[in-house]
Amino acid sequence: MEYILELKNVSKSFQDDLILDNLNLNIKQGEFLTLLGPSGCGKTTTLRIIGGFLQPDEGEVIFDGKNIANLPPYERNINTVFQKYSLFPNMNIYDNIAFGLKIKKMPKDVIDKKVEGALELVSLKGYGKRSIESLSGGQQQRIAIARALVNEPKVLLLDEPLGALDLKLRQVMQTELKKIQEEVGITFIYVTHDQEEALSMSDKIVVMNGGLVQQIGSPIDIYNEPKNAFVADFIGESNIVDGVMLKDLEVVFSNNKFVCLDKGFKQNENVDVVIRPEDIDLVKPEDGMLTGVVENITFKGVHYDIVVDVKGEKYLIQSIYEKQVGEEVGMVIIPDHIHIMEKQRDEI
């Protein structure tokens, strides 16, 4: 079977608000898929529909070839890890992890082995007898993951599982989670609004906004070839300026003609021109395709963030060279770094 999970034309409203609008998603066995989007875009709603905690108003949830839209959560071979770890505080770590296996009435020696394996997987071997409150936030999150994995679900849903951790620990856990996922080969469906987290962990990213899928692709595709200005802006920083396509391979923005690589737009069509801050080279004013005046400069460690005013339009440029506020600079943008996008539709 090609897909372990498919959402077909799934829609969901709360009161009169349409939260998911005809959502279609195909998820492969063993894939690390991330739902990424701003707060309120419908990520958690999608996850809850997959987990069985919510019913869709319309559409199908196909799991292993069968429509499970009406099955309760416990009858689905799917487990969920929440941001709030939801561990049982009155039980020790062993009992927390063993909970689901005991309900299934597995023999004690089998449970012992599985719990030991799960603890090893999350690098907490030997922690079984410890109490929950003796663990740090990061360790508690590992236990929550071990408790979900020990049931050997076919799909694991993770709703912002690292959201409560500080940045350093979050980065460590990102690497570990990815490693665990590769080791166990279980399909992970991960929800986050953090684009860096999505880029570094996922095989496939689904960018959502306002209940609509904006783009589905690998992290590299989504970063390098964003489909519209929303995706470009949400994934990393972007300059988005108004442009007009003169003809194939020729665009005007900031009162200048540029060669680009895009074709197929109407003559004189209004477009969004998207340029990444790291893709603009600063040169002497006389050598620039555009010239402007440095308005602001911030040291960022590896580079400077430089805001350049080009006759009222502001460009963010990342450069390793320091400039002075008020200095005149030239800007060079090669065709490969000019991304032309259709003007966004109103609902996006």
Residues at the site binding ligand ATP, with contacts judged by CB under 6 A: 14, 19, 37, 39-45, 193
Q: In what order do the strands lie in the sheet with 58-63?
A: 17-28, 3-14, 58-63, 66-67
User: Residue 164, by phi and psi: left (phi above 0), alpha (psi -120 to 50) or beta?
Assistant: alpha
Nearer CB in complex with ligand ATP: 4/54: 54
CB-nearer residue toward ligand ATP: 19 or 118: 19
Shortest distance (Å) from residue 42 CB to ligand ATP: 4
Given the complex with ligand ATP, which of 150 and 191 has the nearer CB atom? 191
Coil, strand, or helix at residue 288?
coil
Q: Which residues are CB-contacts of 107 (< 8 A; sequence separation ≥ 6)? A: none
Residues 6 or more apart whose CB falls under 8 angstroms from that of 299 comprise none
> Considering beta carbons, is residue 40 or 126 the nearer one to ligand ATP?
40
Q: Rg of the chain over CA atoms, in angstroms?
A: 24
**Residues near 272 by beta carbon (within 8 Å), at least 6 away in sequence:** 228, 229, 240, 241, 242, 243, 340, 341, 342, 343, 344
Query: CB 260 → ligand ATP: shortest distance, Å?
Result: 34
Are the CB atoms for 316 and 305 separated by under 8 Å? Answer: yes
Q: Which is nearer to ligand ATP, 34 or 45 (CB)?
A: 45
CA separation for the pair 64, 42 (Å, rounded): 24
CB of residue 88 to ligand ATP, shortest distance in Å: 24
In the complex, the smallest distance separating the C-beta of residue 170 from ligand ATP, rounded to whole angstroms, is 16
Q: Token digits for 230? A: 């929303």
Angle at 235 between CA 19 and CA 345, to 5 degrees: 50
CB of 248 to ligand ATP, least distance (A): 38
Nearer to ligand ATP, 50 or 260 (CB): 50
Nearest to 261 by CA among 273, 276, 278: 273
- State the nearest-atom distance from the C-beta of 315 to ligand ATP, in Å: 30
Residue nearest to ligand ATP (CB): 44
Torsion of CA 240, 244, 250, 254, to 10 degrees: -60
Q: CB 20 → ligand ATP: shortest distance, Å?
A: 8
Closer CB to ligand ATP, residue 37 or residue 226? 37
